[in-house]
Chains A and B, each alone.
Chain A
Amino acid sequence: ETGVTQTPRHLVMGMTNKKSLKCEQHLGHNAMYWYKQSAKKPLELMFVYNFKEQTENNSVPSRFSPECPNSSHLFLHLHTLQPEDSALYLCASSQRGSASGANVLTFGAGSRLTVL
């Protein structure tokens, strides 16, 4: 496998369920991200992990819980979500270089989440 792989691709869950989204990158990158894409809205940054340490939590509700056990894997644990949380969740990775140059993200195909 190459690039950034996300599973599952589609997920339907009730508001009381607990589920997890998984992301794996095979690029040797050291930063991983969760983004949320809702209709007619910009991609919203949720969390950033740099060298397995969380460096950004963009005011995300606690019903979303990230986990980064190593620099290749990233999880998003979901618990008691609301219907408005239905969206496409995108995982991305990048290589932290020097403090210059564009931070080019490599995205996975996304996990389409529907909360009933």
Chain B
Amino acid sequence: DQQVKQNSPSLSVQEGRISILNCDYTNSMFDYFLWYKKYPAEGPTFLISISSIKDKNEDGRFTVFLNKSAKHLSLHIVPSQPGDSAVYFCAAGGSFSGGYQKVTFGTGTKLQVIP
């Protein structure tokens, strides 16, 4: 059972326009949601997170929106730049257990920003 879903495997956007990456989840007990970015031949790197008690978090060009009633979150990148081309993973963190917070990942969305 996949608790975090990214239904779009790929997305192409023109440079300067907005990129919107979507993520759906099924477990209402998730406390935090995170986005990671992955370039080829590198590991995923943390991008931005949002607490389940918030509906928006912004960091520069990146904004994450959370709609708890719809169990949906999205990452907006404005303006999109060619260097943003990467695979973006949505992740969700549950409660602490055994001394750590378990993080569940989606399958990723490959973003291509066209110059």
**Interface on A for B, CB 8 Å cutoff?**
4, 6, 31, 35, 40-43, 45, 48, 50-51, 55-56, 90, 92, 94, 96, 99-110
Contact = CB atoms under 8 A, between A and B. Distances in A.
A50 B98 contact: yes
Given A40-B9, A41-B107, A43-B105, A105 B46 contact: yes
A40 B99 contact: no
B100 A42 contact: no
A99 B96 contact: yes
How big is the B interface, by class? 20 to 34
B86 interface: no
A4 B100 CA distance: 19
B88 interface: no
A9 to B, nearest CB: 8
B102 to A, nearest CB: 7
Contacts of A101: 32
